[in-house]
Chains A and B, each alone.
Chain A
Amino acid sequence: MDGPAIITEHLTRTFGQLVAVNDVNLRVAPGQFFGFLGPNGAGKSTTIKMLTGLLAPSSGRMEILGVDLTANPVEVKRQIGVVPEGMALFGRLTGAEYLNFVGRMYGLDRLTAAKRTAELLEFMQLADQPKKLVTDYSHGMQKKLAMAAAVIHGPKILFLDEPFEGVDAIASGTLKAMLQRMISRGATIFLTSHVLEIVERLCSHVAIIHRGLLVAQGSLEELRAGVASQAAAALQEDGTPGAAPPAGEKLTLEEIFLRIVGGSRLAEQELSWLG
């Protein structure tokens, strides 16, 4: 595949008066581990929902692996794996039944689906209690199962909406190992997360969305350089040029993120009743 794995052109989604995603143009190259960041309500989940067919865009175009998503959704869905916000699990199946079901929905034959189910359950350390229903799994176990379901058919692109939310360190390690293995085999991963340390460690490229607008996109180094040059160019209140980060100091992704989206504001109002 020569062209980008994911392209969005003027992607927009409105809910009544609210413009949740506003004219977003994304380019994700094949094999990239792409982090899609933004504060709460910025439009991350809305974007990922549109890219995976869970939500219709109000306008704009999406192309996945060279195929127009709106025109040919089934062809696109064959090649992608998704862990959506709500995980999309069927609670009253066992983990094995669920994975088997998902495998067959992606067109695997019965034998292959069963074989991969067993392997994935072992890999995710979910094989201990084969008769346990998904609804009785802990949150972390459900995340691992959702991740296993997303990869059972060997997708070329993986869309993950907050895969590390509510996951303990052990489960997180398992998930990261699997994602890195996929990247090393040429898959593309598109991930949203609030855990910026993880994104910094895993992702080669990042985009930041704020109030529906794409405000930054590029490799981490490109973002660092962009922030530094912006800081230097900005005029302070007294009219003197702003200070760029000292040479040799490497901004963390969290610092870059806070500078781009405006940082956090401490509550000025005192909550006296909290003690």
Chain B
Amino acid sequence: MAGLSSAVARGQFAAIAQVRWQLFVNSLRTIRGRLEMVSRVMLGFGLTMGGLGGAFGLAAASYYFTSHDQTEWLALLLWVIFLFWQLFPVVATAFTETFDSSNLLRFPLSYPSFFMVRLVYGSLDPATALGGLWLFGIWMGVTVADHRLFVPAGLALLVFALANILLARMVFAWVERWLAQRRTREIMGILFFFLIISFQFIGPLMARFGGKRHPDAARLTVFLLPLERLLPPGLAASALTHFSQGDFAAGLAFFGLLCAYTIAFFWFLNVRMLAQYRGENLSEAAALAAPSRLAKPGSKQKLAVRLGWNVPGVPGPVAAIFEKEFRYLSRSGPMIFTLIMPLVILLIFRLSPGKSGPGSEGFFVRAPDFAFPVGAAYALLMLTNLIYNNFGADGAGVQFYFVSPVRFRDIVLAKNLVHATILAFEMILVWTAVCFIYRPPSFYYTVTTIAGVLLAAPANMAVGNLLSIYTPKKFDFGTFGRQRAANTTAFASIGVQAAVFGIGALSFLLAYVLHKLWIATVLLLGLAAIAFVCYAIVLNRVDRIALDRRETLISELSRA
């Protein structure tokens, strides 16, 4: 990595930082840019508060564990941070953005510099900021409890942080590579299908093995626990435990293993980065058969073009947009990944080990009726990326909508139709999964959840349609971490979710106080009707708004 310290490399880093700063300053010239800045500050404030709160809590917990000679419990804290660090970028894509450094390749940037730029700018996300802050809290707690651990704990946690950063980047880089090809996406689809099929076995299995003490399960736990200690969070915790006990040799051994993991993550990431540095093209074209095999020069083979989709009850242009949107989604690994997350989360909740003792099952096992509403709400949240940035994936193609003889109202309607279809499909999947994993939700909870979604969906779509036009942001459907909406959009979306969930909670509270649960359903259905009216009003005004805002929309989405 000698190249990193050269004057040229330092100059390049400074130039990149300066150009990013200049881009930020220039963005403040417009009202939209200034709104983005305000939203960023407010979101940043919220995250900082959460991060600081978490850091204080973790500092207190680690102080307690260290001062009471229970440092092995630090593993629990480190596992929580580890899972957050790795899962947050996937489950909260609206807040995660990776830096597109492909343009850097035309400059004489050395590979170490390229690697560092990708790593540093790619790590400027909430997961890294919060994870780092929380690890700092643990370090403080451990150090205050035992001053001797200042350096060893600092080193172990620093390497643990590095391992997290490298692992997150590595997983993204490799998954992106695999999902870039149609064949691997199909394989993933098949695996997903098996996952759905397997749900029906989870319920009976958990019913058989989960409710009672089973000697085999106990033996398995005894077998698995040491394995846990061989993974990065366990290794970091073991190193801290041994350092605190004065057993520096064992502590160094665990620390060494943690370093080995970090180096392994670095190596795997390095393989992908090197390929990108050498100008790798992840497009599907490379995987296609050579043209000569498909059509011989001079041959008069007639090209067969499939008919477009026929969507019953909708006009041709709306059906065409419907088809186009689904084709886009089916070719986006990151979006498919995002859309299956609700099911994965349900599964994680079911399989995650609970606390020992009575009531050791997870929350949904004790209250299975809530699994469907929570799963449905999560499915809706996963869709907000699309709903709040309708035209993000269209890029420069958005110009076509303005030159085509189709009203913007119909275009937006078609896109919302796609969102509604996906949401309905996800709801059915979640309901089915809940039936197999937990138990079928009661009729009341099913109907009330549907009523809640009928309120939330049009409310989100109405606001989403407006924000898609007022604060658009270009998406890259093929790359992880490039589906982030504008900060203003993300901020407004949080407000809408808070309002919708607040209204839902109030409805339930009222029903609970009056001892008449059906009141919540009726209230939600009534509010859903109002939301539909609002949605219709927005939809009927979309034409004028889009024409007024066309310059912003086109220039923002046509950016290179």
On whether the beta carbons of A92 and B403 are closer than 8 Å, the reply is: no
Given A101-B324, A128-B294, A128-B295, A121 and B395 touching (CB < 8 A)? no
Stretch at the interface among B75-83, B302-310, B363-371: B302-310
Give, as a whole number of angstroms, the nearest-CB distance from A160 to chain B: 12
On whether the beta carbons of A132 and B316 are closer than 8 Å, the reply is: no
| Smallest CB gap from B301: residue in A | A127
Cβ of B327 within 8 Å of any chain A Cβ, yes or no, is: yes
- Please report the number of residue pairs spanning A and B whose Cβ atoms sit closer than 8 angstroms: 140
Docked Cα-Cα span, A209 to B550, in Å, equals 24
Give, as a whole number of angstroms, the nearest-CB distance from B307 to chain A: 5
Docked Cα-Cα span, A9 to B441, in Å, equals 66
On whether the beta carbons of A114 and B305 are closer than 8 Å, the reply is: yes
On whether the beta carbons of B304 and A97 are closer than 8 Å, the reply is: no
On whether the beta carbons of A54 and B308 are closer than 8 Å, the reply is: no
The residue from B305, B323, B328 contacting A92, defined by CB atoms under 8 A apart? B328
Docked Cα-Cα span, A74 to B294, in Å, equals 40
On whether the beta carbons of B395 and A127 are closer than 8 Å, the reply is: no
Cβ of B394 within 8 Å of any chain A Cβ, yes or no, is: yes
Cβ of B486 within 8 Å of any chain A Cβ, yes or no, is: no
Cβ of A168 within 8 Å of any chain B Cβ, yes or no, is: no
Cβ of B399 within 8 Å of any chain A Cβ, yes or no, is: yes
Cβ of B166 within 8 Å of any chain A Cβ, yes or no, is: no
On whether the beta carbons of B478 and A92 are closer than 8 Å, the reply is: yes
Cβ of B554 within 8 Å of any chain A Cβ, yes or no, is: yes
Stretch at the interface among B167-175, B186-194, B257-265, B281-289: B281-289
On whether the beta carbons of B283 and A133 are closer than 8 Å, the reply is: yes
Give, as a whole number of angstroms, the nearest-CB distance from B394 to chain A: 7
Residues of B in contact (CB 8 Å), total 48
Within 8 A of B (CB), among A82-125: 82, 84, 86-93, 96-97, 99-102, 104-111, 113-115, 117-118, 121-122
On whether the beta carbons of A78 and B478 are closer than 8 Å, the reply is: no
On whether the beta carbons of A104 and B320 are closer than 8 Å, the reply is: yes
| Smallest CB gap from A135: residue in B | B283
A100 partner residues in chain B, CB cutoff 8 A: 305-308, 320
Docked Cα-Cα span, A185 to B534, in Å, equals 49
B323 partner residues in chain A, CB cutoff 8 A: 101
Question: Size range of the interface on A?
Answer: 35 or more
Give, as a whole number of angstroms, the nearest-CB distance from B120 to chain A: 28
The residue from A89, A122, A130, A133 contacting B397, defined by CB atoms under 8 A apart? A89
Cβ of A197 within 8 Å of any chain B Cβ, yes or no, is: no
Docked Cα-Cα span, A243 to B495, in Å, equals 73
By a beta-carbon cutoff of 8 Å, the part of chain B in contact with chain A is: 283-285, 288, 291, 294-295, 302-308, 310, 316-317, 319-321, 323-324, 327-328, 331-332, 393-400, 402-407, 477-478, 547-548, 550-551, 554, 558
19 inter-chain pairs at a CB distance below 8 angstroms, sorted by A residue, are A54-B403, A77-B404, A88-B397, A90-B395, A90-B397, A93-B327, A93-B328, A96-B305, A101-B320, A104-B308, A105-B404, A106-B404, A110-B307, A118-B304, A127-B303, A128-B294, A133-B283, A133-B285, A135-B283
Task: Taking A77-B404, A99-B305, A121-B303 as given, write out 12 further A-B residue pairs in contact, using a Cβ cutoff of 8 Å, ordered by the A residue number.
Answer: A54-B399, A55-B550, A82-B403, A88-B396, A100-B320, A101-B323, A108-B316, A109-B316, A118-B303, A128-B291, A129-B285, A132-B285
By a beta-carbon cutoff of 8 Å, the part of chain A in contact with chain B is: 52-56, 74-75, 77-78, 80, 82, 84, 86-93, 96-97, 99-102, 104-111, 113-115, 117-118, 121-122, 127-133, 135-136, 149
